[in-house]
Amino acid sequence: MRNVRSQFVGLFLFLGALTMVLTNGFWPRIHADAQEDLVRQIEPIGVVLDEIMRNYVETPDTDKVVEGALTGMMNALDDHSSFVPPTVYRELREETEGKFDGIGIQIKLDAEKNIVVFTPMPGSPAAKAGVLAGDIIVAINGIDTKGMSTEDAKDNIRGESGTVVTLKVFRPGKDGAAGEYKEIAVTRGKVPVPSLLESRVLDGGIGYIRISDFKQTTARDLAEKLKELEEKGMRSLILDLRWNPGGLLSSSEEVASLFLKKNTLVTYTKGRKHDDGSVQDEMTLYTQREPVVPDDYPMIVLVNEVTASSSEIVTGALQFHKRALIVGAKTFGKGSVQTIIPLRTPKNSALRLTTALYYTPADVTINKHGILPDVDVPFDRELWMPILEQFGKSWENDITKQDAQNHGAVTGDVKTDATIEDVQLAKAVEILREEGNFQNLLNKYHKDTKITQVAAADPSPSTPREEGPVQEASAAAPGQEAPVETPTPLVPGAAQ
């Protein structure tokens, strides 16, 4: 009983410390204004914890109780605020930086539920050690993978750089030959995670680039790719932000800077308004450089119902400033900003706290409302996963074909009964082939942003949505504000 009581005391002190963190430690102000009310309000938490510690059928796991309490508190705020446990916090930082500790393979489950290597990333530790696409992983450090999920496999494969993981793989034979088992020791290292999923020049000099999310490295990689495609004859551009859940707020400004004139407004944010008139988390983002492509360069941005957050910021800015036509479907409407706040305890955890709303240059927040495209092209949601799988199968066994993914007839691929046509990309290509003068295309297709960018009736982040993807991890570095990501599988596998 003494140990249980000591755990309870520690837990109660932790909650007190957490309250200090969440109130910026302003206990003198609280004492002067509302300390008594605050203590009365949080009293039920202590009562419930006391009952748990005294009377639960088994000795409670204090860490789990604390995590559950924190999770509940954050979930009570809005759909995007959350408690970030240590494992998720580590992955969040890796996503933001655009690299992680691992061996650099993408895996999937085959029809027999085997863990199969989808592809090793070029230059990765796995590729250097001899892991090949199609290898079936039967054991990881001696642990049988039978019945193992891709998430469990990921957890077993990943580890600190410099450590070794041993994979036992079955390599199927070719042309009817017998397969063979191999044991491959791979030294883990830092593996880059690019945010550019594919890029190419289509017929007619139309450049095409698809971006998965917005990381620290996205703008740099995009600038390099634009230069490369121009050298290959690109004369117009389609920037595909479909299924792009967003990421870093700073990255959206950097990407917009590649296309808009220097000192052009990209977005601004507003947080809580205080009694003295000041506004918390108020900032304004302008482009910081001259564009890397000419102003009259014809450009289309593809969007859909999962285009969210930072990708909506870029969409809104390019549409408002008439730098691109927007084609596709109404965007998600994720107009709030989250700040990642590291916690001292639990160790290596954090809070993802909604601190502001962002506004487009049209002076509206599109939170829970989204942005309407200039050209509406519906695409059945039931076809999303099949077409994403179609993209992935294009380079499943040959990573050099990543930039030649199958979008159907628009990319010149042979049509079969199973082929899904990318009608949104096809419409974008059709528009760009109509006219080489971008101003003429704008005159024909661009809609007034008073129609396409309209403020929601109730933009508050706590208002529940009727539909939309589940909100999960955000891509933000400690202390940075970043719209929350809405992860969607982009290839049939997870990177390890």
What residues are labeled active site? 309, 334
| Cβ–Cβ under 8 Å, residues 16 and 8 | no
Residue with tokens 């792009």: 244
d(CA 228, CA 223): 9
Coil/strand/helix, residue 494: strand
d(CA 116, CA 109): 6
d(CA 313, CA 264): 13
d(CA 16, CA 42): 10
CA 432 to the chain's CA centroid: 29
**Residue 61, burial from CB neighbour count under 10 angstroms (0-12, 13-18, 19+):** exposed
Query: In the structure encoding, which two tokens stand for residue 23, read together?
Result: 């109130």
CA-CA distances (angstroms) from residue 245 to 198, 209, 333?
A: 17, 16, 11
| Cβ–Cβ under 8 Å, residues 386 and 346 | no
d(CA 120, CA 134): 10
Q: DSSP per residue over 189-203, as a string?
A: EEEE--SEEEEEEET
The phi, psi pair for 235, rounded to 5°, reads -125, -5
**Which of 271, 367, 261 lies closest to 316, judged by CA?**
367
Helix axis angle for 249-256 and 310-320, nearest 10°, is: 30
Count Cα atoms within 13 angstroms, Cβ side, for 28: 0
**Residues near 191 by Cβ (< 8 Å), separated by ≥ 6?**
99, 100, 101, 102, 103, 104, 121, 124, 125, 495
| Cβ–Cβ under 8 Å, residues 225 and 197 | no
